[in-house]
Structure 1
């Protein structure tokens, strides 16, 4: 609308144009510039192949995260190395950076829009056929849409942080599983070699007795077959050890050759959380702590809050934003000022479609959380049942080993007293080796059941850290 006519001196119009030009140049000078960063697969492959555990930057990272950790490559230090090297961690950190950048986008206020409206009147020549006008439009948020966008983006940042924590736990789980496999293969190799030595000694004794006709060829053949089977078991244990080392390198995020000459510490698996401490809390208590603290649960909660904010945004859009635009027109020597007020007219729709879509997405986010909680509850129940069964199997194997060891001691005393020859003692040695291997296999199964429970709880159950945590919880009466 026309409000006032004022004679404007030419020098003031010149100054106004100069200020507009200077402002435009200043804004353009402050803009970010595009920087081309091409990715070359050959170079990234070389960088991946060059990763090593003796990297000085890795040593600084470990020292900063856990001062005094030293150079003992155990579950804790190898987990830190995987957090430093593993590609999945880099991807999760990049996703977090994207979410944090989205917060900056949400917090940005819309720039005003400057419009020039020049026109030429062919019927007028004096004082000038030109009419020059301009309008600056400002967008005014009257319904809190910007606030809802900020809340949504901040919730997604929290979800990305929890996803980063989940990725960290998953990477730790891969390192732990590889170390446990390596521990199992090494222990099995030692026991198989001991059994092989005993069996070889027994076969040699049988061969001497066969030459004098004291045993049959069938007896000798059966024990030779047992000796050959032990050789195959030893080869399989060696293969499992090599495979475990390769998987450990992959879990850390370094080439397999980076572990050459490195013997990881496996002491954490010799001292897991005692079953008595595991029994200090009920299954319901374990479920409660998992449902309240697991990072994937917290991540889905954050996603649900983001869905809530997205719905609030669409509801707020039912009230249109306003466009306020002061304007100026120079018309044939006269100055005219105007003020425009505009906005969307919600007469054909009131944003029902996007509101319905966001409502459904919020319901979907809630359903995802419920599904995950149900999986966690079932997973903990199954893991606890398997762990209890594995503990019972381990106790039975221990009992059988102890009884066999007692029997061997009795036979050894009888041999020392001259009451019998050494044949029964050699048979007892073989039986004791079988019982020792069975005991170790049961122990491995118990450790494997424990790692499944560890993943279900997302709580450390191996090493001194896990024991200290559960002892503190037991001291509180089983309250995790």
Structure 2
């Protein structure tokens, strides 16, 4: 009894961990980038922003604040606990069956005694179950890396969209200014009789459209900031007066050995590694199901005080695989293994498709970006010629303003083409799980 009490004293006890939705909502709304705990975390990771927040620092904020990575870690902890479950030895069973014989009072009418039975499981099935649990643990651990990369990807895409739309908004505001200038100059010419009223109406309409485009560009910036705040796990108010650093997009480094990186990604991408681990777990589960045709036996030593006689017992029970040989679980395990093999093939095919799609997009967007730069160079040359002609008195101010406006429109096209190239590089980085942007920059 003392031994049993000592063993039971080591059992786990429930510890309540209640959630408080109101307090959690208040904390979520009050999150800021200058929180002491967050600052200490960034310092420990070697990222201490001074005035500006770049790609790496914002990615670390997402890792610290967003729950996605914690969910993956909790799934890994559950898979790790499943390994402990597979390894543990079944507890013995204590049986007591006291009886009282009312017809025989001598030497004693009482029959009592404990029997402790132990389950001796099939060792092959036990080892297969442990192997399956370990492989599921490996799959869960691999998905932590996938979750971390997803955090990085979300922050990068949101920051890239904000970078592009802020530059486009500046260009559209400049274009609106040129359109206003052109409208005023045309109005002056209409008043002097040099142009007709239709020209003034057309110029005024163009100026209105340019102002509307500039206003829409500002709305996109607000949307991008909201998206970036969601990506880092902050309320949008936390980014309101924060200076952002877009240096990561200035000089991306495209992969040099794409064929080798492709082969590596087809083997080491977290989705592929996890799919392979799940297949191995399904294979081990099939071995366990086959071995459990003979699940083991029970042995039960015991003692009986039987009406004055001391009796020692050794009970032995063995299941007989006569009515079934575990056919159902074996068939289910075989089907799961076939499904896991197909899932592994699908994982590799998806990775290859992502890489091929990103490569094609990068090739096409690179060609478009080069053509856009050529158009921009031509537009700048013509703008320079128009400015020189105006300064020399050969042409009027309207022609110079029109040349400046056309250059601004071509600059917007070039910026859009360059942003498409950067997005294709980002997609290639995600497909390869290979860093391309300067994420080491704070």
TM-score of the aligned structures, taking structure 2 as reference length: 0.95
SS at match of 1:459: coil
**How many correspondences in the alignment?**
441
Deviation per CA, 1:50-88: give whole Å up to 9, x if none. Answer: 322212111222222235565642111111111111122
SS of the aligned residue for 2:113 comes to strand
Within the candidate set 93, 96, 109, 1:113 is matched to 93
Structure 2 distance, partners of 1:320, 1:372, is 35
Aligned partner (choices 163, 167, 171) of residue 183 of structure 1: 163
- Aligned partner of 1:281 among 257, 264, 270: 257
Correspondent of 1:36 among 16, 37, 44: 16
Matches within 5 A, 1:125-274: 125-273=105-253
Q: Secondary structure at the match of 1:339?
A: strand
Per the normalisation by structure 1, the TM-score is 0.87
The unaligned stretches of length 5 or more in structure 1 are 1-20, 467-480
Task: Give how far 1:339 is off.
Answer: 1.3
Residues 1:295 and 2:278 aligned together = no
Q: Deviations over 1:241-291 (max 9, x none)?
A: 101111111111121111121122111122223xxx44x334x43431221
Q: 2 CA distance for matches of 1:413 and 1:51?
A: 54
**Match for residue 42 of structure 2 among 62, 70, 78:** 62
Specify which of 326, 330, 347 is matched with residue 301 of structure 2. Answer: 326
CA distance, structure 1, for counterparts of residue 122 and residue 80 of structure 2: 26
Match 1:313 to one of 275, 288, 297: 288
Question: 3-state DSSP class of the match of 1:145?
Answer: helix
**SS at the partner of 2:383?**
helix
Deviation at 1:177, TM superposition (A): 1.3
Unaligned runs of 5+ in 2: none
The counterpart of 1:368, out of the listed 340, 343, 360, is 343
Contact 1:320-1:345 at 8 Å conserved across structures: no
1:349 aligned counterpart, secondary structure: coil
Q: Quick one: distance in 2 between partners of 1:239 and 1:299?
A: 41
CA offset at residue 461 of structure 1? 1.9
Does the C-alpha gap of structure 1 residues 268 and 210 become closer, same or farther in structure 2, counting only changes over 3 Å? same
Specify the alignment match of 1:447 in structure 2: 422
- Given the alignment of the two structures, is residue 392 of structure 1 paired with residue 367 of structure 2, yes or no? yes
Query: Following the alignment from structure 1 to structure 2, what is the Cα–Cα distance between the partners of residues 112 and 307?
Result: 29
Judge which range, 42-51 or 157-166, deviates more.
42-51
Q: CA RMSD in A?
A: 1.9
CA distance in 2, matches of 1:451, 1:142: 51
Q: What is the rounded CA distance, in whole Å, between the counterparts of 1:392 and 1:216 in structure 2?
A: 43
Corresponding residue SS for 1:338: strand
Contact preservation (8 Å) 1:143, 1:317: no
Are the counterparts in 2 of residues 79 and 175 from structure 1 also a CA contact under 8 Å? yes
1:39: Cα distance to partner? 2.8
Provide the rounded CA distance (Å) in 2 between the counterparts of 1:388 and 1:198.
Answer: 34
1:298–1:175 CA distance, 2 compared to 1 (3 A): same
1:306-326, Cα deviation, whole Å (9 max, x unpaired): 112211211111223121221
In structure 1, distance between residues paired with 2:305 and 2:164: 88
Runs of 4+ deviating beyond 6 Å: none
What are the superposed Cα offsets for residues 162-216 of structure 1, whole Å, 9 maximum, x if unpaired? 1121111112211111111110111001111221222222222222221111122
